[in-house]
Amino acid sequence: MAQYFEPSTDTDANFANSVSGQTNSYFLPSIYSRKVLNFFRKSSVVEAITNTDYAGEISAYGDSVKIIKEPVISVSDYTRNTDTTETRLTDQEINLVVDSAKAFKFIVDDIETNMSHVNFKEVATSSAAYALRDSYDAAVIANMFSGVSTSSPDHVLGADAAAATQTMGQHQGGSNSIDLTGSDGTGADPLDVMAFMAKLLDEQNVPEEGRWFVAPPAWYEQLSQSGSKLMSVDFNAGQGSIRNGLVSSGKLRGFDMYKSNNIAAPSTAGGKVLAGHISSTATAQTIISTETLRDPTSFGDIVRGLHVYGSKVLRPEALVSAFFTVD
């Protein structure tokens, strides 16, 4: 039986150079770069939780951006007819270096170009963007975990350990992970842990607007357990709620909530979470090069691109991390 393939009617759906030698404008480097970056930014957690104001200042691997840290102004009492005490400002420069690079490369056969009913441009664009996102998010989130303040203030709750305790006050500088409420019915409620993390940010005068919370699926599973406060209709409506495993658009304990599989699993503890403020970390990323060329060994087109990025923790005190274990 003959198999019928319906050609796409979208003129942009034909990839690069077909057998007839016609060029598809979709794979012009500048257009394709924008397409990938649009998909990337819509799906990246890191793009939502960091300061991305400096992205437009980079154009190549090895570029650096000089960031001036906001000065601290002192306030003093004033007595009439007396001199006031001045604060002498000094600028503190922080360098954000674009020191990471990732590449993608794929081949589109001419048969798919001309015969497939699948919109390959969207498939290829989203696939490249998601692959870049996973690599980028994993690297930057790991850098943010490493940048959490560990003394004055200590914002690391618990440790990468199987032994667990549920008392919040024991976790700063402690050697155990946080015992979350599990099947045994004991342990700390995830909401209480989040409230404790929010309190630590409050103590450092971190603004409430712009706070976020990132956790792996295991954390959200505990939030959606039948005994969770979020499953109660009486729970504060302004805090949001969970029904059927879905997190509402509202904030929880003052945090915008994000779920990510790009948090590296601890060696021993069950998982780890990160909370903070958008000002805590600066990032800059872009696709600096994309190109298409004919594959010399087959009838198809090679599409490849180079993505560069860098990140810098600016305010360690505006981050809080926690290790947890579920019994």
Give the list of residues 6+ apart from residue 93 with CB closer than 8 angstroms, or none.
66, 67, 68, 69
CA distance 207 to 204: 9
For residue 15, the model assigns a pLDDT of 34
Report whether 96 contacts 312 (CB < 8 A).
Answer: yes
For residue 30, the model assigns a pLDDT of 64
pLDDT (tens, 9 = 90+) of the chain, 327 residues, equals 433 323 333 333 333 333 333 344 445 556 666 777 777 777 889 999 999 988 777 778 888 888 877 766 777 787 888 887 777 766 677 888 999 999 988 888 888 777 766 666 667 777 888 889 999 999 999 999 999 999 889 999 989 988 777 665 556 767 889 888 765 566 788 888 999 999 999 999 999 999 999 999 999 888 877 455 665 544 444 444 444 333 545 688 999 999 999 999 999 999 999 999 999 999 999 888 888 889 999 998 888 889 999 999 999 999 999 999 987
CA distance 263 to 216: 7
Task: Give, as one character, the DSSP assignment of residue 85.
Answer: P
CA distance 190 to 208: 19
Give the list of residues 6+ apart from residue 10 with CB closer than 8 angstroms, or none.
119, 121
**How many CA atoms, within 13 angstroms, populate the side-chain half-sphere of residue 213?**
26
Global confidence as pTM: 0.78
Tokens of 153: 């203030």
> What are the residue ranges spanned by the domains of the chain?
11-144+283-304, 146-281+316-326
For residue 230, the model assigns a pLDDT of 60
For residue 21, the model assigns a pLDDT of 38
CA distance 130 to 133: 5
